Amino acid sequence: MEAYKQQFIEFMVKAGALTFGDFITKSGRKTPYFINTGNYRTGSQIAKLGDYYAECIHRNIKEDFDILFGPAYKGIPLSVAASISLYKQYGKDVNYCFNRKESKDHGEGGNLVGCKPKDGDRVVIIEDVITAGTSVRETIPLLQAAAKVQVVGLVVAVDRMERGKTNKTPAAEIYEEFGLKTYPIVTVREIIDALYGKEIDGRVYLDDVQKARMEAYLEQYCVQ
C-alpha cells in the first residue's frame, strides 16, 4: 500500500471522520463503520484533506481537466480544498464549481456557484464516499444540463465496495452507464488491511472482534 494511503487512513481516524460502532447507511444497511467528512472541522484538517485528494488526482487522472465539481453539500469544501492543493502542490490552477440545493432566483440566478461550465469543459467530480452511486447519477445530468461537458473522473475518499443496483459495485455500474472511472483515495479493504491490530494514539481501533464484524459486513453487502 502506498504511504499516502496509510497516512490518509490514520488521518481519518484521528480526525474522527472514520469511526467504528453501529450505524445505518443512507441505503438503510446496518454498518459497523462510518465515514463522515462533516467531522473535519479545522483549517489544518481541511488543508490536509485537500492534499490527499490532490495526490489521488495527480496520480490517477492523466488527462487534462478544467473544473473540479463538488456536489452540495459535502462536496463543496472538498472541491475547494482540492483545487487549492493542486495549485500549491503541483502548480495546476484549475477552476472549481458547486451547486446549490435550490436555484437562486435573484442576482445572477441559477444553481451553480463558481466557474460556470461551458461546452467542451472536462470535469472531475469530487465526492466523499461512494456507496450506492446516487449522488453521481444526480450530478451528471445537472452538469450536462448546464453545458456540453465531458465528465472525466470521479474522485472519492473511500470506496465502500458495496453492491449497487446489481451484483456489481456502484463504481462498476457508473462506468458502464457513463464511461466514468472512479478513483478512491482508499477502499474499505485497504482500511481493514491498514488498521487491523495497529495502535493509533494508544488505541487499537480494529481488533479481532471489530475486524470480524467488518468482514461479515463485506461478506453480506460487498463485492469481494
**Residue 211 designated active-site:** no
| Catalytic member of 88, 104, 148, 165 | 104
Half-sphere exposure at residue 213, Cβ-oriented, CA atoms within 13 angstroms: 13
User: Could you tell me which residues come within 8 angstroms of residue 119 by beta carbon, excluding any fewer than 6 positions away?
Assistant: 147, 148, 149
- Cell matching residue 94: 484549475
Known active-site residue 165: no
**Burial category of 216 from C-beta neighbours within 10 Å (exposed 0-12, middle 13-18, buried 19 and up):** exposed
Q: Kindly report the number of other CB atoms within 10 A of residue 222's CB atom.
A: 18
Find where cell 481516524 sits. 13
- Catalytic residue numbers read 104, 106
